[in-house]
Amino acid sequence: MRIIIVGCGNVGGTLVRMLLAEGHSITVIDKEEDVIGNISNSLDCMGIVGNGASFQVQREAGVEHADLLIAVTPSDERNLLCCLIAKKAGNCHTIARVRDPIYKREIGYIKEELGLSLVINPEEAAANDAARLLKFPSASSIETFAKGRAELVRMKIDPDSKLADKQLSELPPELLGGVLVGIVQREEEIFIPNGQFILRAGDEVSLVGSQKNMLRFFKRLGLPTARVKSAFIIGCGDTGYYLVEQLLSMGIGVKIFEKNKARCEELSDLLPDALVINGDGTEKELLLEEGLKNAEAFVALTNLDEENIMLSMYAKSVSSAKRITRVHRVSYDEIIGAMDLGSILYPRNITANRIMRYVRGMVGSGDSGLESLYRLADGRVEVSEFRVLSDCPIRDKMLMELKLKPGVLIACIIRGNEIIIPRGHDAVTAGDSVIIATTGGIRKIGDILQ
């Protein structure tokens, strides 16, 4: 497809790399000449310096022939205007990143009136991810499928875990209880494990199952499953606002640390049930005075990655709080894996994954519909949810009869409200959803076959 991306920050740059890897023709528009120079020199894409909300600039980018325009500049209003012009000038699909909470109640109207294909709010999406983690603090990340009926939960195996040094086929069924070990990351290596695979301490495993079975599994492992009761939020921009709103509705006590006095006054009006403290959340004396040692959760959401990383490491040194650390910069990926920062929120990945799911849906053929897409381990593993249609090539065939490509695992079948961890004699039927883990990207269900 021919795709125009307006705005080449962290999200735009990530999208360019992901979409080029899938064979799309990409044109990038950005106001900064050095940004365009860097990306057009290092990647096989066309770059244009200019305002993406300009009709002439979009024409120069070829909007009349484009299939999709994605606007991810720092300005919500510019993103919406870019999409409006593209829709009128080229009648292409349009995606806008819109972050300001003021638009939250109006987003349905905006999307319909401007003819937008997709609106993504990365701050709200990141807050949703953080809230799920605070409901289930033993997990390092949680993704949902089938409108929450199935979950993909990541956890790290401790040395004293019942899973350490155990072969998967030897794990008792009463321990797993409807949960599948789908992916294992061991340092830099990624495995789609079979029954002979031996789990080791330090492995990060991705589990698939229903929420009920996942809770039972963690309880059998002796890990905590109750939601936290108190949380420290350091820095409260849009993501913090969305998160605190959810935590208060769950009955979780919240302390907000915010340096900007005017923002504190605004938050006090918007979130009257939260305790808003006008102070520098990086001052350890202030955190200790307010009870950090006894806090059950610590969420670092300042605008500086360095501060968030430092704060998370300090919180670990003085408390046993569940920690969530927001990180924006692409350049930190290589070193963050060596740090224990708790659960990490990557807003750029959340946005890029959502957009990639839409793009895959545009180019996929009719044998299935892509419902969800998550990329793990720097994109080396993808977990996808597909809706099975009547012409799907694996429909009504026992899984043991399918010749799957290497590195493919059918992890779960969702049939109505039933969550099925599949075995060889199971088969998918029309109307089912299937969750597939793979070390290579797939655009449709048929791609899993040799």
Q: What is the pLDDT of residues 392-418, one digit of tens each?
A: 889 999 999 999 998 899 999 999 889
Q: Among the CATH numbers 3.40.50.720, 2.40.10.340, 3.40.50.2030, 1.10.3720.10, which is that of 2-120?
A: 3.40.50.720
Closest CA to 243 of 261, 255, 226: 255
Q: Is the pLDDT at 188 greater than 90, yes or no?
A: no
Residues 6+ away with beta carbon under 8 Å from 50: 29, 31, 57, 60
The residue ranges of every structural domain in the chain are 2-120, 230-345, 360-448
Q: Say how far residue 208 (Cα) sits from the centre of its chain.
A: 16
Distance (Å, rounded) from C-alpha 115 to C-alpha 88? 10
What is the largest distance, in Å, between two alpha-carbon atoms of the chain?
65
Q: Which CATH architecture has domain 360-448?
A: 2-Layer Sandwich (3.30)
Helices (H) then strands (E): counts for the chain: 14, 22
Compute the half-sphere exposure of residue 96: CA atoms within 13 Å on the CB side of its CA. Answer: 30
* Percent of the chain topping pLDDT 90: 65
The SS3 call for residue 253 is strand
pLDDT band per the 50, 70, 90 thresholds, residue 332? low
Domain 230-345 in CATH 3.50.50.60 = no
CATH topology agreement for domains 2-120 and 360-448? no
pLDDT of residue 365: 47
pLDDT of residue 98: 92
**β 381-388/433-438 pair status:** antiparallel
Distance (Å, rounded) from C-alpha 210 to C-alpha 355? 26
Distance (Å, rounded) from C-alpha 117 to C-alpha 183? 32
Average confidence (pLDDT) over 103-121: 87
Element (H, E) at 216: helix 211-220
Return the DSSP state at 11: H
- Give me the residue label for tokens 């740059």: 13
Distance (Å, rounded) from C-alpha 180 to C-alpha 323? 26
pLDDT band per the 50, 70, 90 thresholds, residue 148? confident
